[in-house]
Amino acid sequence: MDKEKLAYSKSEVFTQHLDRKDFESLLTGIAVIENLQKRKEHKKKEVERKKMQKEMAIDAESFKQEAERDLTDISLSTIIFLANPLLVDATFKIIKPSFIDNKESLFSSVYYAGIAGIEKGVNKYDSSMDTGSSVHYIVRWFKTYARREVERTEADMLGVSFSKLVRLKKIAGIRMQLEREKDRKVDNGELLSFINTGQAEPRNKGKLVKDMKVTKENKNTTIEDIIEQERVYMAYFLSNSEQS
């Protein structure tokens, strides 16, 4: 009820000479009616507001999904074009330590394996996740797949499985580390003890051997693993030196 009607109602009460109690009751009734009307209007507005929020949320989600589809569909070639100098540099760094001589052929297979990694990363991209720098995100996917390709190629050339090569490379790295520290060639028994006791693990640096923690992989390394690493690497390098 608007103010003019309320004022009119009050004047009517006075003209009819109602007592104060009746007059107050009448005013209370008018206030109750006004309050109910306001509550109905508020409830209607609240329903409309929630409906609008829901529609906006649906629109926002649709926009997000469409944007992510667009990212997958059109951005891969753009990303590769813009990031190519970084990708080429990363490929050279990844293949440089490899014992494979034909670096030109290796570069090609490793580079395109990295591109496949980028495509995988773009397909898995979620804008709601905190992936850090977009450049780091893309390069990280590239390097992961590129390194795997190098290791697969090396495994084929050495005639061992991919998982076995990964382990043999770790042992070879530890051997080189220990020989640098001692400035001499180490025998297989010495290398095995170095690995089994945890001395090969950076976290144990400066600790007494009895206080060192050892990973299950290092603890389970056997003399057969050490001998196989030496045999596989020696077989490759000897045959490679005879061909050159």
- DSSP letters spanning 73-93: HHHHHHHHHHHHHHHHHHHHH
152: burial class by Cβ within 10 Å (0-12, 13-18, 19+)? middle
113 near 149, Cβ under 8 Å? yes
Per-residue pLDDT of the chain (244 residues; tens, 9 = 90+): 454 444 444 444 444 444 555 545 555 555 555 556 666 676 777 777 666 666 555 555 565 555 555 555 556 777 788 888 889 999 999 999 888 888 888 999 999 999 999 888 877 776 666 556 677 888 899 999 999 999 899 888 888 888 888 888 889 889 988 999 999 999 999 999 999 999 989 898 888 888 899 999 999 999 999 998 888 877 655 444 444 4
Residue 102 counted as domain residue: no
Residue 129 counted as domain residue: no
Domain with 218 in it = 161-244
Residue 203 counted as domain residue: yes
Residue 70 counted as domain residue: no
10: burial class by Cβ within 10 Å (0-12, 13-18, 19+)? middle
- pLDDT the model gives residue 89: 93
- pLDDT the model gives residue 121: 85
Does an H or E element contain 217, and which? helix 216-219
Give the global pTM. Answer: 0.53
DSSP letter for 244, please.
-
Q: How far apart are CA 150 and CA 233, in angstroms?
A: 16
Residue 93 counted as domain residue: no
Residue 95 counted as domain residue: no
Give the domain-ending residue among 37, 52, 67.
Answer: 52
Residue 112 counted as domain residue: no
Residue 30 counted as domain residue: yes
Q: How far apart are CA 217 and CA 207, in angstroms?
A: 20
Q: Is 102 left (phi over 0), alpha (psi -120 to 50) or beta?
A: beta
Q: Is 55 left (phi over 0), alpha (psi -120 to 50) or beta?
A: alpha
Q: Which residues contact 235 (CB under 8 A, 6 or more apart)?
A: 158
- pLDDT the model gives residue 147: 93
Q: Is 229 helix (H, G, I), strand (E, B) or coil?
A: helix
- pLDDT the model gives residue 116: 93
The total domain count for the chain is: 2
111 near 88, Cβ under 8 Å? yes
